[in-house]
Structure 1
Amino acid sequence: MTIKGLVLDTETTGLNQAQVIEMAYMPIGSDFSVNTHTVECERFLPRKAIEPEAIGVHGILDSDLLSKPKTADLFKVMPLVAQSTYVVGHNVEFDTNAINNSSSVKHNFKEICTKRLAIHTFPDEKSYRLTRLADRFISEKVKNYIDDAHSAKADVIMCALLLEHIVSTLNQRDNKQYTFDELYQLSTEIGYIPYGEKAA
């Protein structure tokens, strides 16, 4: 089965050769509408210890993962990751790199970064952090998820709702209906922004 789009987020062992310890995703259709009941979330046992700085962000301990599937089996446990035409995320390159660092099988992803799209759509913002953008533009829709930021499931929902808002804004601004293919092209035209950095 192939689906058009998947909003995806990971929590990882840290910034150094990151491996996935938690992943969530939500399938989305061509209308970009959000159905929070379709989110899948799973934790994984990595091949390396979690860095202390990462624990401070997501609160997941090595001991929390002892009974979980191994990261090498990530695509077997969550097969839609490899079956989606596009994967969408905030700083999504970090997530896809972590997935490929984790799995025994490498995958070539077609990535749509909501951070890049936000920079294009809202060029005057002071910050492009996911929580900042969500609170700024869709605060009522994300009020139940902001406090759980840095849980993969909450971040996927916030990212999907932000994507929905970005697409709606672009559709109205440019008087057209944007497609996944056009969003992908737009995302690739904006230079890569390393994780944690604001756009220049």
Structure 2
Amino acid sequence: MRQIVLDTETTGLETAQGHRIIEIGAVEMDGRRKTGRTYHVYLNPDREVDQGAVEIHGITNEFLEDKPRFADVADEFLAFIKGADLVIHNAPFDVGFIDHEFRLLERDIPAVAEVCTVTDTLVMARSMHPGQRNTLDALCKRYEVDNSQRDLHGALLDAEILSDLYLAMTGGQVTLSLDADEAGEGGVGGRHAPRPVSADRPALRVVRASDDELAAHEAWLEKLDDASGGQSVWRQLEGQH
């Protein structure tokens, strides 16, 4: 399954107040593996960036003056995300802003939900860790995902971090190291690495079924065989040995 891990930065918090997207960052995964393809752009919003927003992401009005407008990149951005499952932390915020930008174009462009599915990692985290802090930073600490470069919010950096976090939250392997000394604590070669078993360990105890247990097992197999009309998979496997 093709997934796009996505994040945006904006001039403020509410589209109803005329706020716009100023940065989009996205990381492509396919079959739970990063493909190496990313999408990243800064955008001129044709309005001032709120000072409170600047303090969060560090993107200034002066920096955005010579950047393209959303209308200039809308088609290539839509082509990049179309048909994918979007993985977003607090998805209603980002999806709401993207849909708002599409509407401002006054073109026949579908809403995000019409061309993509959406996975909200914040909803996932609240279900998995009720009553706990589930910000991106808090989850990185909980799942030991490196976010040491995150002094300020940045769309592509946050998308990269979220991709690692999503894999960790859903049981996927994030890093691979064949040398235990190369990985830090918390990595594959760290304190979660498999430990070699001592050659002096006691022999494992083998517990065998008693005669009564074997008889009960056989009786249960007969019931399965009768219920399946002689098609019991267990019996078929027994016949192969």
TM-score by length of 2: 0.60
**Partner in structure 2 of residue 116 of structure 1:** 123
**Partner in structure 2 of residue 65 of structure 1:** 64
Structure with a larger share of its residues in helix: 1
Paired residues of 1:34 and 1:161 also in contact (CA < 8 A): no
* Overall identity of the aligned pairs, in %: 24
Distance 2:143 2:12 in 1: 29
Summarize the Cα distance change of 1:82–1:33 in structure 2 as closer, same or farther, 3 Å threshold: closer
Distance 1:121 1:107 in 2: 29
User: Once superposed, what is the RMSD of the aligned Cα atoms?
Assistant: 2.1
Paired residues, number: 161
Unaligned runs of 5+ in 1: 170-200
Deviation (angstroms), 1:132: 1.1
Range with bigger deviation, 38-47 or 86-95: 38-47
**Partner in structure 1 of residue 24 of structure 2:** 23
Q: Which of residues 133, 139, 144 in structure 2 aligns to 1:127?
A: 133
Paired residues of 1:8 and 1:89 also in contact (CA < 8 A): yes
| CA-to-aligned-CA distance 1:36-80 (integer Å, 9 cap, x gap) | x43321101113221111111111111111211112234224234
Moved over 6 A (4+): none
Deviation (angstroms), 1:159: 0.9
Summarize the Cα distance change of 1:95–1:64 in structure 2 as closer, same or farther, 3 Å threshold: same
Point out which structure has higher relative CO (alpha carbons under 8 A, 6+ apart). 1
**SS state of the match for residue 59, structure 2?**
coil
Distance 1:57 1:50 in 2: 11
Summarize the Cα distance change of 1:152–1:33 in structure 2 as closer, same or farther, 3 Å threshold: same
Paired residues of 2:9 and 2:24 also in contact (CA < 8 A): yes
Counterpart residue identity of residue 119, structure 2: I
Unaligned runs of 5+ in 2: 173-241
Deviation (angstroms), 1:92: 1.4
Paired residues of 1:82 and 1:107 also in contact (CA < 8 A): no
Deviation (angstroms), 1:118: 1.2
Counterpart residue identity of residue 121, structure 1: M
**SS state of the match for residue 2, structure 2?**
strand
Paired residues of 2:4 and 2:81 also in contact (CA < 8 A): no
Distance 1:72 1:96 in 2: 17
Distance 2:94 2:112 in 1: 13
**SS state of the match for residue 38, structure 1?**
strand
